[in-house]
Structure 1
Amino acid sequence: MIPPVPVPDATAQAHSERLLELIRSQIRAHGGVIPFSRYMELALYAPGLGYYSAGARKFGADGDFVTSPELGPTFAECIAMFSQQVLLQLGGEADFFEIGGGSGAFAEAALRHFDAIGTVPARYLILEPSADLRQRQQQRLQQALAPALFERVRWLDGPPEARWRGVLFANEVLDALPTPRFLVQGGEVYEQHVALSPEGGLISVDQPADALLRAAVRHIERDIGTPFADGYRSEVLPQLPYWIQAVGGLLHDGAMLFVDYGYPRSEYYLPERDDGTLVCHHRHRAHGDAFHWPGLQDITAFVDFTALAEAGVNAGFDLAGYCAQASFLLNNGLPERLAAIGQGQDPVEQHRRHNEVKRLTLPGEMGERFQVMGFQRGVETRPAFARGDLTRRL
């Protein structure tokens, strides 16, 4: 059920209808159905029309949701403190590679803190598939940063194409990867598809799963030690190992760090979670209707962190650690950031910054809902996860 949300204005509705017509044409061109993952890809990333490709404001109080970097600089400063340890171990030419730059708030705060602690990466790389967001990031960083810092920023159209060294960082990226949805019925695996109703609306239909999806579901069943009950529906990313290899395979020495909401596999596929984890965001309202105003809402699914651990290790990395966001921040400079907040700032700013830290760390806010997983190759980063390590739950 959709909670009450503001009705989009006429321009936004027309935009959604243009995307809907593109989706209809794709469905007709593919025999009347497309996989849900393809629908999600179009809804989020269709050039000029998808949610992340068009110009509407996504992040912050005026958008659809708030990410950690939008609250203030503390999150980015702690990530910079973690990254400093990696960059110092590598020495010389080492890069920082951010996937999905959002509004540019993270890059701005991180680069300023890298500069303040005297460990600026050789290059700050941003992979941003949205032309609109890339332009906004460029404008923001050019205005906010000293020229010498801004000159280190490079925007990429794809992952680095040559071997590199440094830190790969992705905050709330994995949850937006287009995901297949599966259904188990009569002991068989089906994949959710999208078709058209007689009136031209979008409806869900299930078709037999292909070999890749079927194998992924059977792997989960073996790992959790029980078959899924009839009617169980959820998400799985069989393409995750290929994605990790694509974005991090050429990282010769360094660390990969992923922050997202999710669960270890045993909790992700609990019997009671029998309709999956799919969630949509529109004007700070969360709901489960992925067909509601395509192009005007975010569509995400929680992350199976056990699958992420498997993918990273299979790509040739060591698992460095896994913990809640609050634990990670406390391990990586948050106490020092709190001390700095209390020095030389007016009471109003101190209050705002303390509220920022509360939202980042409290269990009822982002502190436990968001998880952090790190991988390493040729460096040592396990101390960054020492407090509150949860790898035993994977």
Structure 2
Amino acid sequence: MASETSIKISADALAHSQRVSAFLLQEIERAGGWVPFSQWMGSVLYAPGLGYYSAGSIKLAGSSGDDSQQNPRQLSGDFVTAPQLTPLFGFTLANQVAQILHQSESLNILEFGAGSGALADDILTALSEQGINARYSILEVSGDLKLRQQQRLAKWNNRVNWLDTIPTEFTGCVVANEVLDAMPAELFAWSADGQLMQRGVIWNGQHFQFEDRPAPATLADQIKHRMPTLPDYRSEFNPQAESWVQGIGTWLTRGAALLVDYGFPQHEYYHPQRHRGTLMCHIQHLAHDDAFMAPGLQDITAHVDFTAMADAALAGGLDVLGYTSQARFLLNAGLLDHFGQQARDAASPRDRANFQTAIQKLTSEAEMGELFKVLAVGRNIDGGLIGFSSGDRRHRL
């Protein structure tokens, strides 16, 4: 487990974290001394000018340059995503995007949370090689990352634009890579006597800490429909993410959304052996579970309940078009073909080895291949998406 003594925090970063902590303390005091964890997480990540995603610091490995796309060992920031690991991810995803654009008779792509812009760059590059001149829109909550995206994607001129709000109508392909896991989650716990508790945050005079209170009836009802009573068990659920997925049904008129994230179907998510939940923090490439360490300087995430996301899509009038592991999706969509081309074009044996390392990380069950899943939801297209042509797991949701 990470600790503040095992990471290097600059004086400026420490001062920023102290400002974030002061803001959080004010929120707790205004609420009477206790706030639900979802509110605390939302402020830590998204408070204007203060939150992890809204303040100006490097968030993604490799976002300060392009070297990390070729060499996954050259990393900066707090964590690495698949697009930062290798362009092969975006090139492969583009094959699925192309099929969705064809079926929806559209050239429009909308990405939520585009990170450094690497995924957009790779998708546009691959589509252009196929003769598809797509129009790419990005909705980004981080001003810092938006600036990085604009710098990286300037070469695409007016084919890329940034939105401030979700469109009222959209036809085409929606991309959300590691978006759901960063939406503020509710934490809950079953007490030793089987009472359902809502986890919240207090200030004890020296630091932030959890305090559990009896769950409101609405929250308790939602949890009891998802899992049995398991004394001394804690976990999360994410009504904000579910609402977001359901909301896609209000503006996606024709097309599909590709939701890529780490998580499980519900029966695995709330497995008795996963009795301490999935909440995870990332700072300087260290993963740990101390949500109160260095507020504003670390990412906080929770794994995705893909059954809940599929149910939310259905509730929004969408079709569930496919669900499978990242490894199976990428292999179905032509990852090895792209790897073969990149290996043939590689300038040196070292470059070829780097691509092989990236492929291993993307597809290995011990790495991202099994933990990450791909869920496709949509409306008014034929289905039969190539990424789910084999190994579709919808029956396990």
Using structure 2 for the length normalisation, give the TM-score. 0.92
> Counterparts of 1:1-394 in structure 2 under 5 Å?
1-2=1-2, 5-60=6-61, 61-91=75-105, 93-121=106-134, 123-142=135-154, 145=155, 149-161=156-168, 163-185=169-191, 186-199=193-206, 201-221=207-227, 227-347=228-348, 348-384=350-386, 385-394=388-397
Contact 1:15 1:49 in 2 (8 A): yes
1:282-336 Cα offsets, whole Å, 9 max, x none, are 1111111000000111100011111111111111111111111111011112132
Give the aligned partner of residue 224 of structure 1. none
Q: Secondary structure at the match of 1:355?
A: helix
Residue 351 (structure 1) shift: 2.2
Task: Report the more deviating stretch, 21-30 or 111-120.
Answer: 111-120
Q: Name the CA distance, whole Å, in 2 between partners of 1:157 and 1:164.
A: 15
One-letter amino acid of the structure 2 residue matched with residue 137 of structure 1: Q
CA displacement 1:155-208 (0-9 Å, x = unmatched): 1122112x2200111111111110000112233321111111123x11111112
Over residues 330-357 of structure 1, what are the superposed CA-to-partner deviations in whole Å (9 max), with x where a residue is unaligned?
Answer: 1112132022113333223222222222
- TM, length-normalised to structure 1: 0.93
Give the paired residue count: 380
Q: Quick one: distance in 2 between partners of 1:168 and 1:41?
A: 24
The Cα of 1:373 is off from its aligned counterpart by 0.8
Which sections of structure 2, spanning at least 5 residues, go unmatched? Answer: 62-74
One-letter code aligned to 2:195: E
Kept after mapping to 2: 8 A contact 1:53/1:130:
yes
Q: Residue 77 of structure 1 aligns to which amino acid in structure 2?
A: F
Instruction: State the secondary structure of the residue aligned to 1:5.
Output: coil
- Alpha-carbon distance, 1:5 to partner: 2.8
The verdict on how the C-alpha distance between 1:320 and 1:302 changes in structure 2, with shifts beyond 3 A counting, is: same
Partners of 1:248 and 1:168 in 2: how far apart? Answer: 12
Partner letter of residue 21 of structure 1? A
State the 1:218 CA deviation.
1.2
Report if the CA contact (8 A) 1:194-1:204 is conserved: yes
Amino acid at match of 2:97: S
**Counterpart residue identity of residue 391, structure 1:** R
SS at match of 2:84: helix
Maintained 8 Å contact 1:244/1:312: yes
1:257 Cα shift?
0.8
The alignment partner of 1:89 has SS state of helix
Residues 255, 375 of structure 1: 8 Å contact kept: yes
Q: In angstroms, what is the RMSD of aligned CA positions?
A: 1.5
Give the Å deviation of 1:79.
Answer: 1.2
User: Against the structure 1 CA distance between its residues 88 and 383, is the aligned structure 2 distance closer, same or farther, given a 3 Å change threshold?
Assistant: closer
Which ranges in structure 1 are unaligned for 5 or more consecutive residues?
Answer: 222-226
